[in-house]
Every structure is written in C-alpha cells, then in structure tokens.
Amino acid sequence: MGTKAIDVSYCQTNVDYDRVKNSGIDVVIIRAGYGRESYQKDSEFETHYRNAKAAGLKVGAYWYSYADSVSDAVNEANACLACIKGKSFDYPIYYDLEEQSIANLGVSACTDMARAFCNKIIDAGYAAGVYANLNWFQNYLDYNTLHDKYSIWLAQWSNSHSLDCDIWQYASDGNVSGISGNVDMDVVIGEPSGDCSSASGENSYGDSDIKDVQEWLNDNYDTNLDVDGIYGNLTKAALVKALQTELNRQCGAGLDIDDIFGHCTRSAVINIYKGMSGNITKTLQGLLICNGYDTNGFDGIFGAGTAHAVQQFQSAHGLYVDGIAGKNTFERLCS
C-alpha cells in the first residue's frame, strides 16, 4: 500500500512516538500553524516535532490557510517560515486549503495563492506542496498546474484515490498505538523529497518556470546560476544585473552592474507595456515568474498574459493598477 503516515496537530497531545513507530507508522506530517502571523504557531508543533524526530520518524509539516489574496498567502508563508526556522524536514511543507471563503475567490485566485505560498517556501530552501480534498482539486484549484510544480497531498476518505498524488489521506478516524483518540491516516505513494536539513534549497520540487529563467540568465549574462528552480538571492541579483545591463545597452543609462536596485537604477527604468518586446520585457517576465505570477510564457513579448500578471502583482502590493511596469513596479519586484 505504501509507507504508512499520520498527520497531527494541537488535537493530539501526549503522543508516545516510540509506540507510534512500533505500530508501523514511518512518517508524521505536523501542523506548524495557521494564518498570517507567527504567533499562530500550532501549540503542539514543537512537541510533536521534537518527539517524532527523537523516535526516528520522518517529518513533514503543513500550514492551514485563511488567506484572501496572493499577498496574504505570501504573509502566511513568511509566518510559516518563521515557525519552522532552524528545523529539518524529510517531506515538504504543505499549504492546507479548506476554507469556503477562499474557495469563493475562484480557481484562478486560489491557484495563484497556492503558487505564491509554495514558491516562497521553495525560495527559503524547502520542498513545497498543496493539501486539499478531491472537491477542491477538481473545482477550486488548477490541479494540473499545481501537480506539475509541487507535491500533492490529497484528502479523499475512501478506498482509493482519484488523482495522482504523493500523499493520500484516506481516513480521519484512525486508531494508532501511542495516540489517544482518532488521528488522520495517510499513505505515502510518491515518496516526495524534503531534504531540507540545511535549508539549502536543494530539493526535487524546484519550479520548472524558474529553471527556465535561470537558464536564460546563464546563457545571456554569464551568471553561472545553479538551475534549481529556486528563487533565492543569487537569482534575484542576476535578474537585477540583467535589467541594469539592458538599460545600459538600450537606453545608455551608464549604470554600474552591481545587482543593487538603488536610486540610479530606479531613475533609469523605462515604462514597459503591452505590445513591447525584447530583453527588458523578458527580464520583467522573469521577475514576475520568480515572484509567483503566471505570464503565460517566457518569450520576451508583453502580451495579455504578462499584462495580467503585472496587474495582479500591482494589486497585491498596493500599487496603482494599470498593467504598465514602471519604476514602482520594478522596484517592488526587485526588493
């Protein structure tokens, strides 16, 4: 059937993890917390993590969402990262989407929020995934898009699972030695990799779109990036250098290529808008993609997809929403 697993939260207390392990459970996925603030850490997270590790169990984590926008999802990711800081995981950090108020936002918004959360987690060096039930994956999330990029943890309480997934939660009323009361039961199907002992970013769930950006930067600007699909500081610096290089080439800006988006670079930025094309536009697309926005292609052409991504980014960051990437938009993208 696969590797046996459970998931736990504040609902389970005084767990004897040695007995849990002896009962045949190998993996525990622990709720790290919920919402947008780090003080919303699960009250039992530290205890679960410490004792599960001590018993030799493999560990993952999840964060319960109440987000209502992409920027809120990023805030939730930041809160999650603050709560798991310094810890190592064998399995991904999952974004738990269940609230009807989120579902009411629609497929596009829900998927964008999931992507934003996961990309932020990946940026910090952890593997990332999405947890939801079958109804959510079929009606409120773009399952195919998420499945291509992140680990999938499917909740479907039945005798079989209807979607391809790495972890299948098949029951909520399990009984396991060492735990008082019921516990969620899971089976690991795909053995998703966490490998985050040093939060180095080396995991198998790097974003393929970010890898495309990194390859382009290496081919055109001699940046020598690791093509790992993770938007870290080196990739961000390389994009700023690419922007500075193109502003010098195309606009005679005379900028130092120093990866610092300072006053001189801000002053040199020109407006980029629908219908334009070239490497400045491609750098803009790269920045949007790396920040979790779908430009519907990484081709250097400012089409409808790029315009929509710019508008989404502007809306999420309190900027004037006009679909034109100017000084303020580039500055926020590079920050």
Could you tell me which CATH number the domain at 208-333 has?
Answer: 1.10.101.10
| Structure confidence at residue 199 as a pLDDT band (50, 70, 90) | very low
Quick check: helix, strand or coil at residue 325? Answer: strand
Average pLDDT over residues 91-97: 97
* pLDDT value at residue 195: 42
What Cα–Cα distance (Å) separates residue 57 from each residue in 5, 16, 30, 130? 10, 12, 12, 22
What Cα–Cα distance (Å) separates residue 194 from each residue in 121, 206, 227, 293? 11, 11, 18, 24
Closest to 283 (Cα-Cα) out of 320, 247, 335, 258? 247
* pLDDT value at residue 141: 97
* pLDDT value at residue 102: 96
Could you read off the pLDDT of 145-156 as tens digits, one per residue?
999 899 999 999
| Structure confidence at residue 200 as a pLDDT band (50, 70, 90) | very low
CATH for 3-188, options being 2.60.120.1440, 3.40.50.300, 3.90.320.10, 3.20.20.80: 3.20.20.80
Q: Where are the alpha helices (DSSP H) in 66-153?
A: 70-84, 100-103, 107-123, 134-139, 143-149
Q: What is the DSSP string of 13-82?
A: -S--HHHHHHTT--EEEEEEEESSSGGGB-TTHHHHHHHHHHTT-EEEEEEE----SHHHHHHHHHHHHH
* pLDDT value at residue 290: 87
Give me the residue label for tokens 């738990």: 96
Average pLDDT over residues 159-176: 94
Average pLDDT over residues 20-40: 96
| Tokens found for residue 34 | 């919920």
* pLDDT value at residue 190: 74
Question: In which residue ranges of the chain is CATH 3.20.20.80 found?
Answer: 3-188
| Structure confidence at residue 231 as a pLDDT band (50, 70, 90) | confident
* CB-based contact 181:190 (threshold 8 Å): no
Average pLDDT over residues 30-38: 95
* pLDDT value at residue 201: 37
* pLDDT value at residue 171: 96
* pLDDT value at residue 207: 65
d(Cα 147, Cα 247) in Å, to the nearest integer?
37
Question: In which residue ranges of the chain is CATH 1.10.101.10 found?
Answer: 208-333
Average pLDDT over residues 122-148: 94
| Tokens found for residue 109 | 């918004």
Bridge partners of 130, per DSSP, are 95, 152
The percentage of residues in the chain with a pLDDT greater than 90, rounded to a whole number, is: 79
pLDDT at residue 204 above 70? no
* pLDDT value at residue 116: 93
